[in-house]
């Protein structure tokens, strides 16, 4: 994946900047004739059978909406300039040696430990999670349909459902009965067809699968961060701390992340100000300038899941094992509580199949430092 994304970006960057300087009414013909233009190709991105669905294995194709696959630069959502500007909202993390993992794991079975020293090349990380507004521009420009939309359903936290929906639910998750499979729940209908994102444009997009996240990142010439990059970014330059800011979760009585307060799953006291997602710009930045690295929504990473530290790609730019069934997600969400899912820690990790979608699953993009 790294190679293909790099080729897309590097092979077209010169032509893109040339096109960006032309009058907005002119077709981007220069970039369209780049030697590396693969806009007519349709690489396959295969999903995996969702553990809770009865609709069988599915394979799908997504168009490669590379940076030159535009028609008229004057259309805001489709402009090269717009996409290049998206790259500005990133933080550069310089290359160096870092420590990830922990020698005091909370969930040993998750492979949180032991601590490991690694080396990473420089990379960029989105300052915030991808918002509904960001994703809407992607969909408007490309016509992309998410896997939740194709499957026709997604999982929603029961406590967020309206009375009419909650009285007739088709399926709940066996080990987590507060998760309900709702027909037509998707990124723009987070709690089902009677809900919308009108007042949540600046909240993180949810109900996006790993495959959906990859499609969005590739459209911008970016990629998903590796698990190691994500954890280094989360720590914000601090070593061996639970959270991006230290070891005390509510320093000076001030909440710095969106998680569950009260008794899970029956009573959320909302002391942090939110019952569900919060704006992607809410809460203080860590020392790298990144927001919401824990809480709010789980974030997909590039890596296949394994609990074997020795199989995560070594100590230099590790990117996980070459194959797997599940993908790693990091950071916890607004539903995480210490009594149930104490995974809103930098070292914590969890997993889902690449086509899993839910109301607390989102992502942010990364980019290699050498461009």
Q: Is residue 335 part of a domain?
A: yes
Q: Is residue 50 part of a domain?
A: no
Instruction: Compute the distance between CA of residue 293 and CA of residue 227 in angstroms, rounded to an integer.
Output: 13
CA torsion angle 290 370 63 298 (round to 10): -20
Average pLDDT for 201-206? 98
Q: Is residue 16's pLDDT more than 80?
A: no
Output the six-digit token pair for 125: 């990380």
pLDDT over 70 for what percent of the chain? 73
74-83, 145-154, 280-289, 321-330: least confidently modelled range = 74-83
Average pLDDT for 147-168? 84
Cβ neighbors of 326 (< 8 A, separation 6 or more) are 304, 305, 351, 352, 353, 354
Instruction: Compute the distance between CA of residue 33 and CA of residue 23 in angstroms, rounded to an integer.
Output: 18
Q: Is residue 21 part of a domain?
A: no
**Which residue's structure tokens are 């995974």?**
343
Q: Is residue 136 part of a domain?
A: yes
Instruction: Compute the distance between CA of residue 30 and CA of residue 62 in angstroms, rounded to an integer.
Output: 24
Q: Is residue 352's pLDDT more than 50?
A: yes
User: pLDDT tens digits for 47-61?
Assistant: 223 333 333 433 332
Average pLDDT for 100-105? 96
44-46 and 59-61 strand pairing: antiparallel
Q: Are 64 and 38 in contact (CB under 8 A)?
A: yes
Q: Is residue 201's pLDDT more than 70?
A: yes
Q: Which tops the pLDDT comparison, 116 or 41?
A: 116
Question: For the whole prediction, is pTM greater than 0.85?
Answer: no
Check residue 9 and give its pLDDT. 28
Q: Which tops the pLDDT comparison, 254 or 65?
A: 254
Domain that holds residue 336: 91-370
> Residue 172's pLDDT band (boundaries 50, 70, 90)?
low
Average pLDDT for 2-23? 32
> Residue 232's pLDDT band (boundaries 50, 70, 90)?
very high
When divided into structural domains, the chain yields a total of 1
Q: Are 256 and 245 in contact (CB under 8 A)?
A: yes
Check residue 370 and give its pLDDT. 75
Q: Is residue 5 part of a domain?
A: no
Output the six-digit token pair for 311: 């199989």
Output the six-digit token pair for 261: 């307060």
**Which residue's structure tokens are 């630069």?**
73
Average pLDDT for 162-177? 62
262-263 and 171-173 strand pairing: unpaired
Q: Are 183 and 153 in contact (CB under 8 A)?
A: yes
Instruction: Compute the distance between CA of residue 18 and CA of residue 12 in angstroms, rounded to an integer.
Output: 10
Instruction: Compute the distance between CA of residue 331 and CA of residue 264 in angstroms, rounded to an integer.
Output: 18
What is the CATH classification number for the domain harbouring 299? 3.90.1580.10
Q: Is residue 353 part of a domain?
A: yes
* Phi-psi label, residue 253: left if phi above 0, alpha if psi -120 to 50, beta otherwise: left
Q: Is residue 330's pLDDT more than 80?
A: yes
- How far apart, in Å, are the Cα atoms of 122 and each of 9, 119, 126, 365? 17, 10, 14, 15
Check residue 169 and give its pLDDT. 54
- How far apart, in Å, are the Cα atoms of 142 and each of 67, 71, 98, 145, 256? 11, 11, 38, 9, 35
Q: Is residue 15 part of a domain?
A: no
Q: Is residue 72's pLDDT more than 90?
A: no
User: pLDDT tens digits for 18-50?
Assistant: 333 333 333 233 233 333 333 333 333 322 233
> Residue 173's pLDDT band (boundaries 50, 70, 90)?
low
Quick count: other Cβ atoms within 10 Å of Cβ 290?
21
Check residue 56 and give its pLDDT. 40
Q: Is residue 1's pLDDT more than 50?
A: no
Task: List the one residue out of 227, 239, 177, 248 whose CA is nearest residue 331.
Answer: 227
Check residue 340 and give its pLDDT. 87
Q: Is residue 60 part of a domain?
A: no
User: pLDDT tens digits for 242-266?
Assistant: 999 999 999 999 999 999 999 999 9
| Mean residue pLDDT across the chain | 80
Q: Is residue 307's pLDDT more than 50?
A: yes
Output the six-digit token pair for 74: 């004057």
């Amino acid at each position: 994946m790294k190679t293909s994304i790099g080729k897309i970006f590097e092979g077209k960057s010169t032509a893109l900047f040339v096109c960006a300087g032309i009058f907005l009414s002119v077709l981007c013909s220069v970039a369209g004739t780049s030697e590396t233009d693969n806009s007519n190709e349709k690489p396959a991105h295969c999903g995996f059978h969702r553990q809770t669905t009865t609709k069988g294995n599915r394979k799908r194709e997504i168009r490669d909406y590379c940076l030159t696959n535009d028609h008229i630069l004057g259309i805001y959502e489709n402009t090269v300039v717009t996409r290049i500007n998206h790259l500005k909202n990133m933080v550069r993390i310089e290359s160096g040696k870092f420590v990830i993992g922990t020698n005091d794991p909370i969930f040993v079975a998750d492979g949180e430990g032991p601590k490991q020293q690694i080396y990473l090349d420089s990379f960029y990380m989105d300052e915030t999670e991808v918002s509904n507004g960001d994703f809407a521009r992607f969909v408007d420009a490309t016509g992309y349909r998410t896997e939740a939309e194709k499957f026709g359903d997604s999982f929603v936290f029961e406590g967020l459902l309206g009375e009419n929906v909650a009285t007739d639910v088709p399926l709940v998750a066996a080990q987590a009965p507060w998760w309900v499979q709702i027909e037509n729940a998707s990124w723009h209908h987070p709690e089902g067809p009677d809900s919308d994102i009108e007042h949540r444009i600046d909240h993180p997009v949810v109900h996006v699968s790993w495959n959906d996240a990859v499609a969005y990142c590739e459209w911008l010439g970016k990629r998903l961060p590796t698990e190691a990059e994500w954890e280094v970014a989360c720590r914000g330059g601090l070593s061996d701390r639970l959270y991006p800011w230290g070891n005390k979760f509510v320093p000076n009585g001030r909440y710095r992340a969106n998680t569950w307060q009260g008794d899970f799953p029956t009573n959320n006291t909302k002391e942090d100000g939110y019952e569900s997602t919060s704006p992607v710009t809410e809460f203080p930045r860590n020392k790298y300038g990144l927001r919401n690295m824990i809480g709010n929504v789980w974030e997909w990473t590039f890596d296949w899941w394994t609990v074997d530290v020795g199989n995560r790609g070594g100590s230099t730019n590790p990117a996980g094992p070459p194959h797997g069934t599940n993908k790693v997600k990091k950071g916890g969400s607004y539903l995480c509580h210490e009594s149930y899912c104490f995974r809103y820690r930098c070292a914590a990790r969890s997993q889902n199949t690449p086509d899993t979608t839910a109301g607390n699953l989102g992502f942010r993009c990364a980019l290699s430092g050498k461009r």
